[in-house]
Structure 1
Amino acid sequence: MTATRSRWLLCRRRRPGAASRLYCFPHSGGAAGEYVRWSDALPGTEVWGVQPPGRGGRLAEPAFDSMAALVEAVVGEAAFEPPYTLFGHSLGALVAYETALLLRERGLPAPERLILSAYGSPYLHRPGEPVHELGDTALMEAVERAYGPLPDAVREDAELRSLVLGGLRADLAIVATYRPAPAVPLDIPITVVGGADDAESPERLVAWHGLTTGPFDLRLFPGGHFYFRERSDELMRFLAERA
């Protein structure tokens, strides 16, 4: 059974005695459900998925299309319970980083660690083509070229397709318009993970090391952008040592 703590946080297994909590930010078009399943493989950790509007059980809600507005809402609504670690995959890595910066600015409890997956340093961020401005058919084709086929239900159900593409379009708008402000480095450990065959180069991943005065480590797993779907056991063992 999935528990909630505000609309923003989902948890599959509450563990009041857990030594730590892991809060996971989803990728573009992703939802918390993919990440809360990790609780089965992390028995010592209480795993939460961050669920912004426009996905999962909040699919019908308008999605945020700017980083600043999204992070402001996350910090205002999510109420992370320490001790905790933030994990983010792809777009989620950028959101996790910006969340840590805003938490520091507000004087709120900081994460013990950031674990950032499959996205290079935001200060090397290269906004790509404005994919979010494409029509539905062209957008689906672009997404499938990059990440693989969309579910048949999305293709066959016009109403569902409209909702899914609306949230995805908003996420892609965040990526296209994001411009990180200069920031003082964090003072917490940063761990970066990624797929060895992903388009995101190791050089861009390792550049995160300049954004903290704390420890830094990088681990590449076999696979592409969604390496953790193929190498779940390996990633879970790695996270168990750090989350």
Structure 2
Amino acid sequence: MATLICVPYAGGSAQVYKRWTGKLHPSLRLVPAELAGRGSRMGQPFYRNTTEAVQDLMPMVREAASRPEPYALFGHSMGSLLVYELLHALIEEKVPLPIAAFLSGRGAPHCELEQQRRLHELPDDKFLDEVKGLGGMPAELFQHRELLNLFLPILRADFKLVGEYEPQKRKPLPLRLTILSGKEDSTVKGLLSEWEPYATGGCDRVLFEGGHFFVHEQEKDVVSLINKTLTEVPALI
């Protein structure tokens, strides 16, 4: 068995990955991370920055790393950023690294920084227009004001976390990364090859049909890639 910890995108909760239950290989145990301020943790204060988010997620990852079986990390968009920062935190704490790290729907840190945007500072209408343009959000969300009022603070907090993130210059990660992206995803800045210097083992770059939320649009293929990658690890065969 292996544990697969999945970190959601901006506005997302653990629920976005629970749909993978029963689709992952039987040797994989799905652990969807629930971020503060949404889902089962509704009402808890939002993270002020990536450091707080990583500190909150670390106990879950430490627990997985302490088990005799291996573990892997998956993150999409904001989740990809948090997984990247988690990897560096694991190295700093000398916690065993995952057997695989899937970074989805986000460009290399230095590329994203060059195109940094302050979407969270826009007025509600313009901010929501930008969010709609990304896709992935149910249409009924924008039609019910009460639901929107509940969801809007979560989105703003997450976009603020991403928008104010500034990468640090650090040594490459001592592993190989798997980079996933939608062929029509205009939100990803820079070439995917820009991720290469961030890991000593380089990167496997995989393109899928679709835009920013290809993880839902091409769910079967994404899960198939995860299954193939993780079941090729000798300990899991």
The TM-score bracket by the shorter chain reads 0.7 to 0.9
Q: Determine whether 1:232 maps to 2:219.
A: yes
Aligned partner of residue 125 in structure 1, secondary structure: helix
Tell me: CA distance 1:210–1:233, structure 2 relative to 1, closer, same or farther (3 Å): same
Distance apart, 1:213 and its partner CA: 0.8
> 2: distance between equivalents of 1:143 and 1:25?
19
Unpaired runs of 5+ residues, structure 2, are 231-237
Tell me if the contact between 2:136 and 2:213 (Cα under 8 Å) persists in the aligned partners: no
Tell me if the contact between 2:112 and 2:188 (Cα under 8 Å) persists in the aligned partners: no
Tell me if the contact between 1:154 and 1:164 (Cα under 8 Å) persists in the aligned partners: no
Aligned partner of residue 220 in structure 1, secondary structure: strand
Tell me if the contact between 2:210 and 2:217 (Cα under 8 Å) persists in the aligned partners: yes
> 2: distance between equivalents of 1:87 and 1:148?
18
Aligned partner of residue 52 in structure 1, secondary structure: coil
> 1: distance between equivalents of 2:104 and 2:38?
20
Mapping 1:86-105, distance limit 5 Å: 86-105=73-92
Mapping 1:157-176, distance limit 5 Å: 157-158=145-146, 160-176=147-163
Q: Determine whether 1:217 maps to 2:204.
A: yes
The structure 2 residue matched to 1:147, chosen from 131, 135, 141, is 135
Mapping 1:13-162, distance limit 5 Å: 18=1, 20-42=2-24, 43-76=26-59, 78-82=61-65, 83-126=70-113, 127-147=115-135, 150-153=138-141, 155-158=143-146, 160-162=147-149
Query: Could you state the TM-score of these two structures normalised by the residue count of structure 1?
Result: 0.84
Query: Could you state the TM-score of these two structures normalised by the residue count of structure 2?
Result: 0.86
Aligned residue type for 2:132: E
> 2: distance between equivalents of 1:41 and 1:74?
25
Q: How many residues align?
A: 224
Task: Summarize deviations over 1:130-160 as a string: whole Å, max 9, x none.
Answer: 11122333322221123265542554242x3
CA RMSD of aligned residues (A): 2.0
The answer to which of 121-130 and 175-184 deviates more is 121-130
Distance apart, 1:234 and its partner CA: 1.1
* % identical equivalent positions: 31
Tell me: CA distance 1:27–1:156, structure 2 relative to 1, closer, same or farther (3 Å): same
* Runs of 4+ with >4 A deviation: 148-151, 200-203
Distance apart, 1:202 and its partner CA: 8.4
Tell me: CA distance 1:145–1:58, structure 2 relative to 1, closer, same or farther (3 Å): same
Task: Summarize deviations over 1:70-124 as a string: whole Å, max 9, x none.
Answer: 1122114553413111111011111000001001101112111210001011122
Aligned partner of residue 101 in structure 2, secondary structure: strand
Tell me if the contact between 2:73 and 2:83 (Cα under 8 Å) persists in the aligned partners: yes
